[in-house]
Amino acid sequence: MSVPDSTLLEYDICMESAERRVFHLLHSLEWQLISDKKNGRVWKMRCNVTENYMFRYEGIIPNRTPTEVAVIVHPEGAHRALWDTQSAGTPLIARIRDDTSIIRHDTKSRLMGIISQREAVDLCRFATDSETGCKNFVKIFLTMDSPLEFSLIEKNDPLSGTRSVVMVSVSHPSAPLREGIVRVHTHPSLLLIAPSGSDTKVTSIIQAEMHLMGIPPSVVDNFLPKGIINFFDDLRAYTAKDLKLDLNEPLTGWI
**Pick from 16, 90, 52, 79: nearest CA to 208:** 52
Kind and range of the H or E run holding 190: strand 189-196
Q: One digit per residue, pLDDT tens: the chain, 255 residues?
A: 567 888 999 999 999 999 999 999 999 999 999 999 998 999 999 987 777 889 999 999 999 999 999 999 999 999 999 999 999 999 999 999 999 999 999 999 877 666 788 999 999 999 997 544 444 433 433 333 433 333 333 334 434 689 999 999 999 999 999 999 999 999 999 999 999 999 999 999 998 666 555 566 666 667 778 889 999 999 999 999 999 999 988 899 997
pLDDT for res 1: 57
pLDDT for res 88: 96
pLDDT for res 144: 37
CATH number at residue 205: 3.30.530.20
Q: Which residues contact 68 (CB under 8 A, 6 or more apart)?
A: 200, 239, 245, 247
pLDDT for res 218: 64
pLDDT for res 211: 57
Is residue 36 domain-resident?
yes
Is residue 249 domain-resident?
no
Is residue 149 domain-resident?
yes
Positive/negative CA dihedral, 99, 102, 108, 113: positive
Write out the residue range of the structural domain in which residue 231 sits: 5-239
**Count of domains forming the chain:** 1
Q: Is 179 helix (H, G, I), strand (E, B) or coil?
A: coil
Task: Say what the pTM is.
Answer: 0.85
Give the tens place of pLDDT for each residue, 93-141.
Answer: 999 999 999 999 999 987 766 678 899 999 999 999 754 444 443 343 3
Q: Do residues 121 and 145 make contact, with C-beta atoms less than 8 angstroms apart?
A: no
Q: Please give the Cα distance from 245 to 255 (Å, whole number).
A: 14
